[in-house]
Structure 1
Amino acid sequence: MKLKTALLPLALIFSATAMAGGHREPYQAQSNLLNKTYSQEQAPSLRVATFNMAAARVGSMEEIAKAIKAIDADVIAIQEVDVLTGRSGKVDQAKQLEKLTGMHVAFGRAIDFDGGQYGLAIASKYPILKTEVNLLPSGTREQRIGFEAHIKVPGFEAPITVFNAHLDTKEDPAMRIDQVRALNDAAIDTRGIKILMGDMNDVPNSATVQELGRYWNNIVDSEVDFRSWPAGNPEIQVDYIMTGKAQRWQVESITVPQVNAPYSDVNWPAVTDHLPIIVDMKMLEQ
């Protein structure tokens, strides 16, 4: 009898924990952004891009800034950014990009490296309201992050949350899948307009991209050559732009500037080892 009395409160505790914990609780579903559709004429438009700048190990900061200005996106997710590292001459590349492009640039630290820091950046034509670094499972390998920025873009009823990611490079996708699940775990609790961009280090139809497809719509077009690496003679697509499933976007154009079709006279292989992916789109449903 005493044993039953002692076990009953524990059972109640476990039951209460199971009912109250985890994701998808009612309070997590609350949002000031209600579902709304737009006509073609009224739909707000956005140009986004993802761009791995290789920490200026291929081209100079001036050449990278020229490339970013040529892309002319409202928001750009940038991978491989050095801040005050020895290899980049103690330059704060995020601040340097801000100075050279005139854009707002926020930096997210992934690791301490070579006397400075290394990570991701998000550049925006419009003020960046807040940022957050989401650590992704990385084991004993290089620490990876999902860098999150909230940006108020004119024409949109709520800030756009942009996630930038640069996933693990190992051929075995197990680590990347864990990283995607952690990224999804963070993103699913964010209400509103969401966009994911970055270097996912895996190819279309891979387990990594399929896992991303649970919570994101990958922007695809059978008429577009999405091969983005290496820039001089692209072999595979590893860079992606995806949208949250709460929204419906109409893609107006997709540009992956190839070597034989330079974009605004930028010699991409002389700038970095990845081609950018640039997307113009209109939001038909928020």
Structure 2
Amino acid sequence: MSQPLRVASYNIHKGLSFFNGRMVVHELRDRLVSLNADLVFLQEVVGEHALHAGRFETWPVEPQYEFLADEIWPEFAYGKNAVYDHGHHGNAILSRYPILRWDNLDISAHLFESRGLLHCEIAVPGYEQPLHAICLHLALNEAGRRKQLRILSERIHALVPDDAPLIIAGDFNDWRQKAASYMAHELQLKEVFEVAHGRPARSFPAAFPLFTLDRIYVRGFEVESAQVLHGSRWRRLSDHAPLTAQLRLAPLQSVSAAA
């Protein structure tokens, strides 16, 4: 039997508190470490921000994804999506295991939102095939999200073998819960909270969660547990609550006994 894989997904709001009044990236790093996740899918990660670096005395010198990875996640990938005069931000994946290859696809639906799809192939010990891990942040409007889901589907059909393990996590902005049926029927994916609890997690706003914006979809895995993290320690860090799940490779995906 394969070892469990613990994953987390979190929109970190650029390392700033809900109303941008405080820099919280140092506390955020401590809290992420406490999750003991093998893979972390992050959205709204700052690669560079000259204004914040001048405003906050302890703003990290390195990009946020490197600062957060620290020594816990030796491998990381960053997809630069939104670029502006004073810096840029995007999605990131932090990994305990080697990232074999990765690329970032621009899936922006219009000029007013810069969105990306970060796709990594990861060598997880005991897996016969690389794990495909996709981190994304979808559009605020439904038409944009439909377009982006079609792009996602085309990419998976083209580049991800049907029998390869697959995790897609991020901020879907899917408050009307339209994506679930598409992901299930088009891509044979299941959402971890629907499996574990019967419905997606309420993760936004973190202080009083009403909307199910954040998701973790999987294929080729059994879902052992899924948790959305609320409470004062988390709601002071971002406007979203983080999601965690413990997964185990489904029997047909497991390595042979000889391996």
In the alignment, which residue of structure 2 is the partner of 1:48?
7
Q: State TM-score, norm by structure 2.
A: 0.83
| TM-score, L = length of structure 1 | 0.76
State the superposition RMSD in angstroms. Answer: 2.0
Q: Distance in 1 between matches of 2:4 and 2:72?
A: 22
2:50 to 65, 77, 86: 86
- What stretches of structure 1 of length at least 5 have no aligned partner? 1-41
Note the residue ranges of structure 2 that are not aligned, 5 or more in a row: 18-22, 54-60, 254-259
After superposition, residues 18-97 of structure 1 pair within 5 angstroms as 42-58=1-17, 59-89=23-53, 92-97=63-68
After the TM superposition, which parts of structure 1 deviate over 6 Å for at least 4 consecutive aligned residues? none
Q: 1:254 aligns with which of 210, 226, 231?
A: 226
| Distance in 2, Cα, partners of 1:84 & 1:140 | 21
Deviations 1:141-164 (A, max 9, x none): 212111011111112122211000
Instruction: Tell me how far apart the structure 1 counterparts of residues 100 and 175 of structure 2 sit (CA, whole Å).
Output: 33
Partner of 1:274: 240
Partner of 2:217: 242
One-letter amino acid of the structure 1 residue matched with residue 222 of structure 2: Q
Kept in 1, the 8 Å contact 2:5–2:247? The answer is yes
1:216-237 deviation per Cα after TM superposition (whole angstroms, max 9, x unaligned): 2222133677110111111111
Q: Is residue 2:78 matched to residue 1:107? A: yes
CA distance 1:225–1:176, change in 2 (3 Å): closer
CA separation of 1:258 and 1:133: change in aligned 2, threshold 3 A:
same
Alignment of 1:1-286 (within 5 A): 42-58=1-17, 59-89=23-53, 92-99=63-70, 101-170=72-141, 173-189=142-158, 190-191=160-161, 192-203=164-175, 205-206=177-178, 208-213=179-184, 214-215=186-187, 216-219=189-192, 220=194, 221-222=196-197, 226-244=201-219, 247=220, 249-259=221-231, 267-284=233-250, 285-286=252-253
Residue by residue, what CA displacement relative to the aligned partner does 1:238-264 show, whole Å, maximum 9, x if unpaired? 0001113xx2x22111111222xx7xx
Give 1:174 deviation, angstroms: 0.9
Report the residue type matching 1:121 in the other structure. Answer: A
Q: Percent identity?
A: 26
Does structure 2 retain, via aligned residues, the 8 Å contact 1:85–1:91? Answer: no
